[in-house]
Amino acid sequence: MARSEQDLLSTEIVNRGIESSGPNAGSLTFSVRVRRRLPDFLQSVNLKYVKLGYHYLINHAIYLATIPVLLLVFGAEVGSLSREELWKKLWDDARYDLATVLGFFGVFVLTLSVYFMSRPRSVYLIDFACYRPPGELKVTKEQFIEKARKSGKFDEASVEFQRRIIQSSGIGDETYIPKAVMTDENCVTMKQGRLEASMVMFGALDELFEKTRVRPKDVGILVVNCSIFNPTPSLSAMLINHYKMRGNILSYNLGGMGCSAGIIAVDLARDMLQANPNNYAVVVSTEMVAYNWYPGKDRSMLIPNCYFRMGCSAVLLSNRRRDYHRAKYRLEHIVRTHKGADDRSFRCIYQEEDEQGFRGLKVSKDLVEIGGEALKTNITTLGPLVLPFSEQLFFFATLIWRHLFGGGGLQTSAKKPYIPDYKLAFEHFCVHAASKTVLDELQKNLELSDNNMEASRMTLHRFGNTSSSSIWYELAYLEAKERVKRGDRVWQISFGSGFKCNSVVWQSMRSVRKPTSRNPWLDCIDRYPLPSN
């Protein structure tokens, strides 16, 4: 087997128990399963997801299809007449022709009215904010390991395991963790959870309201997502109480939905804005590090300790037409993929207690493979919505050729379909900064350049995995570098427990200048990108 193929495979030895009968009775039996680390996107493309993408694309096109038909019919009738005959029809037989003309324009106006009435309202992103914790919570990798050892929560084997993971994680020496996690006290308490929640959420929202000059009472829709920490009253209620928001606000609190919940929250806010015109919506995405801290010995549960760091984002959305001129981005597409029907995907990231009774997130060894399958489904559905026509044409031609002749003599030349170049559809990529391994695999399979992955890698290095808010730290990085120009399209993609993979596409309404304040990258942007990365 070639080395390149071996790199994509993982071997798992599974204990199948003790043989109950036969010549091997009383002996342990094992099975060996060899799996790909990430599915090869070039080997299989499911047509149903391609069709699903086109279903999204033509959802409202039926109305527009009527217009060219009417124009064709009317033009054919008029075009067959000379100027004298047309004049005679219009004026000498006015009753007949006037009724025809009025009938045509009536259908034309009705078609346009139905189309524009059924067309979704534009949703604008006015601005967003990413919270940067205070400097005293900053921790280097070595400090992390030393504090973990001194906290007394881990044995030496667990400390050494975390050291190996964090050294190859892609995380730098300036990430933030709560003080409580590195002390001997129990940090998995409601008190510590609320303290961290108030710090990061209030910090992000204070910045957002200051940047947009929108009053909290002007917000009509509030969506908060936090996967692990879900107190009563909810986090959304905490914000309403703190900012004294209005009594008829539509508030929602999403829990247990993993790192991809930020895009789900934006999707929910969009739907609510479609049903409630002339409104503002705020989306808050975060995760509580202290409440998710695992002090046990199970190595699959120790992995989240090494990656997750403090962070929070707050996004202001609007459907008001007068916000068109001050908006930064317009929402173009959201595509959501859920693989929860599959048992392996469902249990890929699973919260449970270990043998000692400590609660934590158990991360499966199949995570990269399962995540890749969800990603493949998601981008296959997204393709028809965003790719240039030429790319779609090449894709379909080679796909049809493969399905027609793949089993015959042309199998060798046609076994791989043409994979569209997503770099032609987007100027900027914000891939969820989960880990260095995940980013490496995605870059290789999507054939993205180092420049395309820069925002994700630098975010992972500077802030760590901030869960659902990481894609906003990446967009803040692009803005701080002054790379977002008018008309650019930004692809944010995230994945998380369930297993889910979600995409959102934004179009820039104006060129974004380098911020002079209130950007988490301002104090360090000149040091990035790092040469070694």
Q: How far apart are CA 128 and CA 126, in angstroms?
A: 7
In a domain, 513, yes or no: yes
Same domain, 24 and 91: no
Q: How far apart are CA 335 and CA 495, in angstroms?
A: 12
In a domain, 397, yes or no: no
Same domain, 284 and 375: yes
Same domain, 373 and 246: yes
pLDDT (0 to 100) of residue 384: 84
Rounded to 10 degrees, what is the CA torsion of 473, 478, 479, 481? 120
Same domain, 23 and 98: no
Q: How far apart are CA 379 and CA 79, in angstroms?
A: 46
Q: How far apart are CA 58 and CA 347, in angstroms?
A: 35
In a domain, 53, yes or no: no
Tokens 């049903």 correspond to 275
Which positions are annotated as active-site residues?
259, 338, 428, 432, 461, 465
In a domain, 418, yes or no: no
> Strands, E, within 186-279: which ranges?
221-225, 250-254
Helix, strand, coil % (nearest 5) of the chain?
A: 50, 20, 35
pLDDT (0 to 100) of residue 105: 72
Same domain, 104 and 252: no
In a domain, 476, yes or no: yes
Same domain, 27 and 114: no
Tokens 């799996």 correspond to 35
DSSP-assigned letter for residue 361: E
Q: H/E/C letters for each residue in 252-263?
A: EEECCCHHHHHH
Question: Please, are residues 461 and 435 in contact by the beta-carbon 8 Å criterion?
Answer: no
Mean pLDDT by 10 residues, the chain (533 residues): 39 47 48 45 50 50 49 50 57 56 72 63 94 94 90 88 92 93 81 95 97 96 96 96 96 94 97 95 96 90 93 97 94 94 92 91 89 88 86 74 57 51 91 92 88 96 96 96 95 93 96 84 92 61
The DSSP element (H or E) to which 135 belongs, if any, is: none
Per-position DSSP letters for 362-427, written without gaps between them = EEPTTHHHHHHHHHHHHHHHHHHHHS-HHHHHHHHHHHHHHHHHTTSTTHHHHSSPPPP-GGGT-S
Q: What angle do CA 484, 259, 171 make, to 5 degrees?
A: 70
- CATH value at residue 227: 3.40.47.10
Look at strands 489-496 and 428-431 and give their pairing.
Answer: parallel
Beta-carbon contacts of 414 under 8 Å, excluding residues fewer than 6 positions away, are 398, 401, 402, 405, 406
In a domain, 82, yes or no: yes
Q: How far apart are CA 183 and CA 302, in angstroms?
A: 17
Q: How far apart are CA 66 and CA 108, in angstroms?
A: 8
Same domain, 82 and 32: no
Same domain, 482 and 523: yes
Cβ atoms < 10 Å from Cβ of 495:
29
Same domain, 154 and 299: yes
pLDDT (0 to 100) of residue 492: 97
pLDDT (0 to 100) of residue 509: 95
pLDDT (0 to 100) of residue 414: 42
In a domain, 405, yes or no: no
| Greatest distance between any 2 Cα atoms in the chain | 105
Q: How far apart are CA 529 and CA 1, in angstroms?
A: 37
User: HSE on the CB side for 291, CA within 13 Å?
Assistant: 18
- Sign for the CA dihedral angle at 85, 86, 92, 93 comes to positive
Q: How far apart are CA 39 and CA 372, in angstroms?
A: 6
pLDDT (0 to 100) of residue 115: 56
Q: How far apart are CA 315 and CA 506, in angstroms?
A: 13
The DSSP element (H or E) to which 250 belongs, if any, is: strand 250-254
pLDDT (0 to 100) of residue 381: 86
> Considering its fold, how many domains does the chain have in total?
3
Question: Please, are residues 315 and 123 in contact by the beta-carbon 8 Å criterion?
Answer: no
Containing domain of residue 14, as a range? 3-36
Question: Please, are residues 375 and 442 in contact by the beta-carbon 8 Å criterion?
Answer: yes
Same domain, 434 and 499: yes
Q: How far apart are CA 235 and CA 197, in angstroms?
A: 8
Question: Please, are residues 17 and 25 in contact by the beta-carbon 8 Å criterion?
Answer: no
Cβ atoms < 10 Å from Cβ of 491:
23
In a domain, 131, yes or no: yes
Tokens 């500077």 correspond to 462
Q: How far apart are CA 466 and CA 131, in angstroms?
A: 11
b (16+ CB within 10 A) / e for 318-354 = bbbeebeeebbbebbbbbebbbeeeeebeebbeeeeb
Q: How far apart are CA 5 and CA 246, in angstroms?
A: 59
Q: How far apart are CA 334 and CA 386, in angstroms?
A: 11
Token reading at 450: 């180092």
Distances (CA, A) of 421 to 249, 427, 485: 43, 12, 21
**Among the three residues 93, 118, 143, which one is the final residue of a domain in this structure?**
118
pLDDT (0 to 100) of residue 153: 83
Same domain, 233 and 247: yes
Q: How many residues does the chain have?
A: 533
**Among the three residues 118, 140, 159, which one is the final residue of a domain in this structure?**
118
**Among the three residues 95, 118, 141, which one is the final residue of a domain in this structure?**
118
> pTM of the prediction?
0.80
pLDDT (0 to 100) of residue 124: 97
Beta-carbon contacts of 210 under 8 Å, excluding residues fewer than 6 positions away, are 518
Same domain, 468 and 331: yes
